[in-house]
């Protein structure tokens, strides 16, 4: 495992905690790792060590509201524009004009948005778990999740108090055993309406053993509804960055209604025309970069090393 360097970087009006590994000079190819929920930079520790040993400069920030990075109190400060703006400002502060990007979960959504809004800053993308979700003018994301999983699904519960003059989800969390909640979030492999239901998770009394790959995690921020409104100008826009997508066949995100058809029947290829490869890993769950650390590290390296002679135009394969 390569040594990890930690520092605070002022970017986009906030202080970002950034972990780095590998060469620090401007000549080394750089990889930006974007974590998900409920995670921190440390969920990438295996991939950082692997790529640092192969000459890559690895940069893994805690996103806005997480870990050692500033957490503004207003939920409207967590839009996709804020978070993508944080990453672009971080790259500017580190003097990195273009990077490889690797994202997971909520970080995959952020990474898709980064590629959509600022493709000039991304050399190639490897996204894990969450497929690209094109904006649908007639379907708000929360309506989709409610219809599929009900009002108690964790995304819906995080959103329900925004804009109301009453305690938000944080107040509800005070009655939770948070250590137990995050253990369940890290180990859930259920598929269906009960998966990630806060009420059912709170009422579950079974003993939970954390997997050996588990790392620390915490989060803040919720702006699905506002993001949907703000992204209206990008309705129908394509992600035009060379891309590889990886998901476990036991991942809840892979079993959202319509997702597998979208991934495998041409929908994602239409919206991400430079999508080169889709990998489905059998027996893997949601936190795939920790659960299958070596395998994911190999996949990332095998893809991004193709670009070392310059920004290549990869041959588009049939998916």
197/194 Cα distance (integer angstroms): 5
Structure tokens, 27:
């000549």
What digits encode the pLDDT tens for the residues 31-66? 999 999 889 999 999 999 999 999 999 999 999 999
- CA 239 remoteness from chain centre: 16
What digits encode the pLDDT tens for the residues 247-272? 999 998 999 889 999 999 999 999 99
Closest CA to 129 of 151, 149, 112: 112
What digits encode the pLDDT tens for the residues 82-92? 999 999 999 99
Q: Residue 294: is it exposed, middle or buried by C-beta count within 10 angstroms (0-12/13-18/19+)?
A: exposed
180/116 Cα distance (integer angstroms): 37
Closest CA to 12 of 74, 98, 70: 70
pTM: 0.80
124/299 Cα distance (integer angstroms): 13
Q: Residue 32: is it exposed, middle or buried by C-beta count within 10 angstroms (0-12/13-18/19+)?
A: buried
What digits encode the pLDDT tens for the residues 111-160? 999 999 999 999 999 999 999 999 988 777 666 666 666 666 555 555 55
What digits encode the pLDDT tens for the residues 112-121? 999 999 999 9
Element (H, E) at 49: helix 45-52
């Amino acid at each position: 495992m390569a040594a990890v360097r930690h520092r605070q970087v002022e970017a986009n009006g906030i202080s970002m905690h950034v972990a780095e590994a590998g060469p620090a000079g401007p000549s080394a190819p750089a990889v930006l790792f974007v974590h998900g929920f409920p995670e921190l930079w440390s969920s990438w520790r295996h991939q950082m060590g692997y790529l640092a040993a192969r000459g890559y400069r690895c940069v893994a920030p805690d996103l806005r509201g997480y870990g050692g990075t500033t957490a503004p109190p207003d939920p409207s400060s967590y839009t996709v524009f804020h978070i993508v703006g944080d990453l672009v400002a971080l790259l500017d502060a580190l003097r990195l004009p273009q990077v490889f990007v690797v994202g997971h979960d909520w970080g995959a959504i952020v990474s898709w948005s980064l590629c959509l809004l600022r493709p000039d800053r991304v050399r190639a993308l490897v996204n894990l778990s969450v497929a690209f979700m094109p904006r649908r003018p007639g379907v708000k994301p929360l309506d989709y999740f409610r219809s599929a999983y009900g009002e108690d699904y964790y995304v819906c519960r995080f959103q329900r108090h925004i804009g109301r003059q009453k305690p938000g989800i944080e107040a509800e969390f005070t009655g939770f055993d948070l250590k137990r909640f995050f253990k369940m979030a890290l180990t859930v492999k259920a598929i269906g309406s009960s998966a990630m239901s806060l009420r059912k998770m709170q009422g579950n009394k079974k003993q939970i053993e954390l997997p050996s790959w588990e790392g620390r995690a915490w989060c803040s921020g919720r702006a699905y509804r506002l993001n949907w409104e703000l992204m209206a100008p990008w309705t129908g826009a394509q992600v035009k960055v060379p891309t590889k997508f990886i998901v476990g066949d036991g991942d809840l995100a892979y079993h959202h209604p319509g997702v597998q058809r979208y991934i495998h029947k041409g929908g994602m290829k239409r919206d991400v025309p430079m999508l080169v490869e889709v990998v489905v890993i059998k027996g893997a769950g949601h936190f795939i970069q920790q659960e299958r650390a070596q395998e994911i590290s190999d996949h990332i390296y095998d893809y991004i090393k193709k670009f070392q002679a310059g920004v290549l135009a990869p041959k588009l394969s049939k998916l």
